[in-house]
Structure 1
């Protein structure tokens, strides 16, 4: 019999507002234990998933599985980039944007069965001021919402919606200078999303034609729009037609610089961070293996 593959399951106990006390038991029931030898670790602080994944590389694990949302995936993926060690995903977040795009089931048992197949896809990785992202990075309105949501006591889609409504009531557009593959654009924007995959999560598609393995990032500029048009904007997001809105401009590129008047929050796969006024964004093609 072939030697069993060693897999580290990194569990974020608070992602998506769901308790995961019985998760280890479910893994042992569904995972093919003739093929895999699982180890479990729970995260206890910010960046802990990154640290655990880095240790897994040194300890020569065959795979690391993120049990959490896009933020947990980001930490582990950032550690595994260019390592050749694949990332597995058990989606347990508020949005699960990357998992939904890759067709990874939201049902835990079904997602574990995908691990049993141990088949991979190679995906591109975005870099924003040297911080990795695999789904979407953004600034403007959505970054402000992520910043608010991070401190909210209510998790999941309801908490995110509450944060969005609170920010929307007082948010103002900002001016940006963008350079995409050498061409410069001056824009006043409600928000700018740089998309590696098409959707934020919960099947809200900001960049319907984006692909994680085309070697490009889609720069999605959402222009100022009248508030009465908000229902139509939401319709476009969930109907995969954002690119058809008169208020949305999408520019694909590989080498992107965004200049704003001052620093502030940027979300990286949904997690808010503070970055400088100049953002340098690049693509690292097919640099991460994901089990799907």
Structure 2
């Protein structure tokens, strides 16, 4: 399939319109958005499911068009979400924190399991709360698992599922939540997110109580659930090796991943997400655009030079920043954002779009009226679809939910619609989710 052109000055005309652009003078109408949604879901239904078999079947058309250059170094896959110098495998513990055999003796259902990062969460308090509320609800004694550098939570989450638990709770940083969600996707077992780390990005986007862990534990026994979408990203390494991981907030290739890679770990531990400002300061001076070939499901193949491409399930960031207005975790689609600023003024337009237009003006009627008199800027291009295939001529850094995932020459992303059942407090407002 031929590429649609360079795309250097204007966004490709055949990309699905995004509701974030509706507020602008040249934005899509409601009818256009509705039609695009119908077409996108029809294209998704007609497209074959990703084949996890032979490697050659996993190579997207975009990658073939990009023809990657020489092999570039491959960093470590995942940044550990635990303490420095800590090693060893995850373990199952008892109510007092004592080590117990990984396999349970077969306690009766219903029963819950708690997976927690002991560096990010107060394990003693959480174990006591889960044990107490389980007993009050008439459930069996819960299972407890601590994560370590060798297991971010996915393996012990699978162990919990093998014990036939009726619910899983996760407490830790964004990396722990991502890993446990990956293991839980498709299981049908509810997952309760107990906010514990510094980012809490998924909890923020779900509008969960960030300072009341007891409320989220209680919701396991008397709350509601929501079938949430999960993104899957298949990475092609410079040597051709394939790896696939899930994400629940957003992933990206390019500058956003470089910013995360340049963030000092000790600073992140000290000040949390604010440390990414340091990473941005380190990455931006060396930032150079790079050419990619990309294709959304059911759309044409495109070529353009970018700084970064994001594929997102959620749109809100800390400090009230709305990166992707109208993003939804339960619409069966992923939101695609292409950053293609040109020079200093281009970056100013990016800042205006994200920090001013998205995060401030559109909150007020007067602000929306101002935006309706302006046309949208092409430094940031929004679209939406069931997935995207993308390839670069050189390996580029990749991040998923704020963790480094090494470098890749190509990514193939698709959405598992409603793949994860998440727990919400009873009567939780789901408008806008």
> Which residues of 2 match residues 1-292 of structure 1 at below 5 A?
5-15=110-120, 20=122, 22-24=124-126, 27-28=129-130, 31=133, 33-35=135-137, 36=139, 37-107=141-211, 108-129=213-234, 130-149=244-263, 151-155=265-269, 156-181=272-297, 182-227=299-344, 229=348, 231-232=351-352, 233-236=354-357, 238-239=359-360, 245-292=377-424
Q: 1:201 to 1:127 in 2, by over 3 A?
A: farther
Q: What per-residue deviation string (whole Å, max 9, x for no partner) do you get for residues 153-193 of structure 1?
A: 43212322222222223222222111112312222222111
Higher alpha-carbon deviation: 233-242 or 31-40:
233-242
| Separation of aligned partners in 2, 1:203 and 1:34 | 37
Q: 1:237 to 1:260 in 2, by over 3 A?
A: farther
Per the TM alignment, residue 52 of structure 1 is displaced from its structure 2 partner at its CA by: 0.6
Per the TM alignment, residue 251 of structure 1 is displaced from its structure 2 partner at its CA by: 1.4
Higher alpha-carbon deviation: 137-146 or 227-236:
227-236
Q: What per-residue deviation string (whole Å, max 9, x for no partner) do you get for residues 198-221 of structure 1?
A: 234454322212211211111101
Per the TM alignment, residue 150 of structure 1 is displaced from its structure 2 partner at its CA by: 6.8
- Name stretches of at least 5 consecutive residues in structure 2 with no aligned partner: 1-107, 235-243, 363-370, 425-433
Check conservation: 1:208, 1:240, Cα contact below 8 A. Answer: no
Q: 1:237 to 1:115 in 2, by over 3 A?
A: farther
Q: TM-score, normalised by structure 1?
A: 0.87
Q: What per-residue deviation string (whole Å, max 9, x for no partner) do you get for residues 199-247 of structure 1?
A: 3445432221221121111110112155461653433453386995542
Q: TM-score, normalised by structure 2?
A: 0.60
| Separation of aligned partners in 2, 1:89 and 1:150 | 26
Higher alpha-carbon deviation: 205-214 or 151-160:
151-160
Per the TM alignment, residue 49 of structure 1 is displaced from its structure 2 partner at its CA by: 0.5
Check conservation: 2:312, 2:335, Cα contact below 8 A. Answer: yes
Instruction: Say what the alpha-carbon RMSD is for the aligned residues.
Output: 2.7
Check conservation: 1:123, 1:287, Cα contact below 8 A. Answer: yes
| Separation of aligned partners in 1, 2:416 and 2:267 | 35
| Separation of aligned partners in 2, 1:224 and 1:55 | 46
Taking CA–CA contacts closer than 8 Å with sequence separation of 6 or more, which of the two structures ends up with the larger relative contact order?
2
Which structure has the highest strand share of the two? 1
Check conservation: 2:134, 2:142, Cα contact below 8 A. Answer: no
Per the TM alignment, residue 24 of structure 1 is displaced from its structure 2 partner at its CA by: 2.7
Higher alpha-carbon deviation: 156-165 or 236-245:
236-245
Check conservation: 1:118, 1:291, Cα contact below 8 A. Answer: yes
- Name stretches of at least 5 consecutive residues in structure 1 with no aligned partner: none
| Separation of aligned partners in 1, 2:361 and 2:181 | 26
Q: 1:29 to 1:125 in 2, by over 3 A?
A: closer
